[in-house]
Amino acid sequence: MVQYAGTVLDASFAALSDATRRGVLEQLGRADASITQLAEKFHMTLTGMKKHVGVLERAGLVTTEKVGRVRTCKLGVRGLEEEAAWIERYRQCWAARFDELDKLVEELKQKEKADGRKKRW
């Protein structure tokens, strides 16, 4: 099996694979929030939300700061440039494949039209 050195990518995609964690990132994009506020918004326990935030934090997508008894979450300083670049490479690959498929389909349509005209005569 091929091994990739993309542990950052692995952590990011694992974090982004969950709808709740994506929702947390969207929420934090609007405003910082405490774990309690996030848990209430997503209708889950504090423990559940702490686990989600922990995954996001390990991926570098969220940072937390504890002041007294309140742990405030905010977007991490690391953006998703590396992840976007990885996705873009594959998007380009698939776009090229679909372009080739479009050409083939068009050629087949033209051939079918030409063959249809020949049969009528």
Report pLDDT for 79. 82
Read off the pLDDT of residues 47-98 as tens digits, 9 standing for 90 and up. 999 999 999 999 999 999 999 999 999 999 888 888 999 899 989 989 999 9
Nearest residue to 34 via CA among 82, 67, 81: 67
Report pLDDT for 18. 97
Alpha carbons within 13 angstroms on the beta-carbon side of residue 50 total 7
Read off the pLDDT of residues 23-53 as tens digits, 9 standing for 90 and up. 999 999 999 999 999 999 999 999 999 999 9
Q: Residue ranges per domain, the chain?
A: 7-75, 80-121
Report pLDDT for 7. 84
Report pLDDT for 120. 58
Report pLDDT for 1. 47
Q: Is the dihedral of CA 89, 90, 91, 94 positive or negative?
A: positive
Report pLDDT for 4. 52
Nearest residue to 80 via CA among 88, 68, 72: 88
Phi, psi of 85 (to 5 degrees): -65, -40
**Pairwise pLDDT comparison (33 vs 111), residue with the higher score:** 33
CATH code of the region 7-75: 1.10.10.10
Report pLDDT for 73. 97
